[in-house]
Structure 1
Amino acid sequence: MKNININVKTLFLSLLLSGFFLVGCEQYLDQDPQDSVTEAVYFKTAEQFENASNYFYTRLSYEDIEEASDLSGNYTTPDYGQGLIAPVDSDDIWKKNYSYLRAPNQLIEKAVDFPGDPLDISAPVGTAYFFRAWHHFTLLQRFGGVPIVTRALDVSFEELYAPRNSRYEVIFQILSDLDVAIAKLPTANNVEQGKISTEAAKAFKARVLLYEGTWDKYVGEATDGDGINSGAGSAKPAGYPNTTAMLTEAKQLALEIINSGAYELWDQRSALGEDHLFYLFNLEEGSNPIGLTKADNKEFIIQAVYDFSFRNLNKNTSHAKPVTPSRELMDTYLCIDGLPVQHSPLFQGYDNMTDEFQNRDFRLKSFVKEPLKEYWGRGNSIDGGGAQYDKTFATSGVNFDYRYVPELSTISVGRNIGYQGRKFVSEQKNREGNSASPNWPLLRYAEVLLIYAEATVELGNGAISDADLDISINKIRERSGVAPLTNALIAPFTDLNMLGEVRRERSIELFGENVRFDDLMRWGIAEDELNRTVSLTYIAGTEYETADNPKNPSSKIYNPNGFPLGLTTSEISVSTYSGIATTKPGALILDIGANRNWTKARYLSGIPIDEMKLNPELLQNPGW
Structure 2
Amino acid sequence: MKNIFILYTLLAIVITGCNDDFLDVAPGDKLTDVSFWKTEKEAFDALTAAYATFSERGSVWSTWNTYLFAAGTMTDDAEGTYNSFQDGSIGPTDGTVEALYKELYTNIRICNVFLANIDRPEMDETLRTRFIAEAKFIRAFHYSILRNNWGGVPLITDPLTPSELNVSRSSAAEVTAFISSELTVAAAVLPASYGAADMGRATKGAALTLKARTLLYAGNYEDASTAAEEVMTFGYDLFQDGTGEGYLNLQQKPNEDNVEVVFAVRYNNPDTFHRYLVRVYPQNHTHPGGENGAVKISQSFVNAFETTDGKTIDDPISIFDPLDEFANRDPRLNMAVLKKGDMLSGNPLAGSTVDASNNTGYYARKLIQDEGFHGWDRYDRDIVLMRYAEVLLIFAEANIESGSISQSVLDAINDVRARAYNTTRADVANYPSITTTDQNELREIIRRERRVELGMEHGDYRLNDIRRWNIAETVLNGDLNGAKDGTGNYRFIKNLSFDASKHYLWPIPQREIDLVGSNILSQNPGY
Q: Which residue of structure 2 lines up, in the alignment, with residue 446 of structure 1?
A: 389
Is residue 368 of structure 1 aligned with residue 314 of structure 2?
no
Q: 2:500 aligns with which of 596, 599, 603?
A: 599
- C-alpha spacing 1:329/1:103, structure 2 compared with 1 (3 Å): closer
User: Does the 8 Å CA contact 1:84/1:597 hold for their aligned counterparts?
Assistant: no
Is residue 499 of structure 1 aligned with residue 443 of structure 2?
yes
Is residue 305 of structure 1 aligned with residue 270 of structure 2?
no
User: 1: distance between equivalents of 2:159 and 2:329?
Assistant: 52
Deviations 1:191-239 (A, max 9, x none): 73221011110110011100111xxxxxxxxxxxxxxxxxxxxxxxxxx
Q: 1:205 aligns with which of 205, 211, 216?
A: 211
User: 1: distance between equivalents of 2:407 and 2:316?
Assistant: 21
Is residue 485 of structure 1 aligned with residue 433 of structure 2?
yes
User: Does the 8 Å CA contact 2:75/2:463 hold for their aligned counterparts?
Assistant: no
Deviations 1:513-560 (A, max 9, x none): 322121111111211221133233346xxxx54xxxxxxxxxxxx7xx
Deviations 1:559-598 (A, max 9, x none): xxxxxxxxxxxxxxxxxxxxxxxxxxx4333334xx5243
SS in 2 for 1:534: strand
Q: 1:110 aligns with which of 117, 121, 133?
A: 117
User: Does the 8 Å CA contact 1:266/1:299 hold for their aligned counterparts?
Assistant: yes
Q: 2:201 aligns with which of 177, 195, 206?
A: 195
Deviations 1:359-408 (A, max 9, x none): 222211112235434x132xxxxxxxxx5xxxxxxxxxxxxx63655866
Aligned ranges for residues 284-363 of structure 1 at < 5 Å? 292-295=254-257, 297-315=258-276, 316=278, 317-318=280-281, 319-343=291-315, 347-351=319-323, 355-363=324-332
The percent identity for this pair of structures is 28
Q: CA deviation at 1:148?
A: 0.9
Aligned ranges for residues 446-485 of structure 1 at < 5 Å? 446-460=389-403, 464-470=405-411, 472-481=412-421, 483-485=431-433
Q: Which runs of 5+ in 1 are unaligned?
A: 1-5, 214-245, 284-291, 378-386, 388-400, 546-557, 559-585
Aligned ranges for residues 388-537 of structure 1 at < 5 Å? 402=348, 404-405=350-351, 409-411=355-357, 414-415=358-359, 417-428=360-371, 431-460=374-403, 464-470=405-411, 472-481=412-421, 483-488=431-436, 497-513=441-457, 514-537=460-483
Q: Could you say which structure has the larger radius of gyration?
A: 1
User: Does the 8 Å CA contact 2:246/2:419 hold for their aligned counterparts?
Assistant: no
Deviations 1:461-518 (A, max 9, x none): xx73343221x22111111117243234x98xx9x71101000000111111322121
Q: CA deviation at 1:303?
A: 2.0
User: 1: distance between equivalents of 2:394 and 2:151?
Assistant: 22
Q: Which residue of structure 2 lines up, in the alignment, with residue 100 of structure 1?
A: 107
User: Does the 8 Å CA contact 1:130/1:177 hold for their aligned counterparts?
Assistant: yes
- TM-score if structure 2 supplies the norm length? 0.84
Q: Which residue of structure 1 lines up, in the alignment, with residue 523 of structure 2?
A: 620
- TM-score if structure 1 supplies the norm length? 0.71
Is residue 180 of structure 1 aligned with residue 185 of structure 2?
yes
Q: Which runs of 5+ in 2 are unaligned?
A: 56-64, 282-290, 422-429
Q: CA deviation at 1:97?
A: 1.8
SS in 2 for 1:207: helix
Q: Which residue of structure 1 lines up, in the alignment, with residue 232 of structure 2?
A: 258
User: 1: distance between equivalents of 2:273 and 2:228?
Assistant: 32
User: 2: distance between equivalents of 1:208 and 1:146?
Assistant: 15
The count of residues paired between Structure 1 and Structure 2 equals 489
- C-alpha spacing 1:22/1:118, structure 2 compared with 1 (3 Å): farther
SS in 2 for 1:603: coil
User: 1: distance between equivalents of 2:511 and 2:46?
Assistant: 31
User: Does the 8 Å CA contact 1:321/1:425 hold for their aligned counterparts?
Assistant: no
Q: CA deviation at 1:620?
A: 1.0
- C-alpha spacing 1:24/1:34, structure 2 compared with 1 (3 Å): farther
RMSD: 3.1
User: 2: distance between equivalents of 1:357 and 1:497?
Assistant: 25
Is residue 72 of structure 1 aligned with residue 82 of structure 2?
no
Aligned ranges for residues 81-160 of structure 1 at < 5 Å? 81-88=86-93, 91-113=98-120, 115=122, 118-157=125-164, 160=165
SS in 2 for 1:527: helix
User: 2: distance between equivalents of 1:112 and 1:77?
Assistant: 42
**Letter of the structure 2 residue corresponding to residue 499 of structure 1:** R
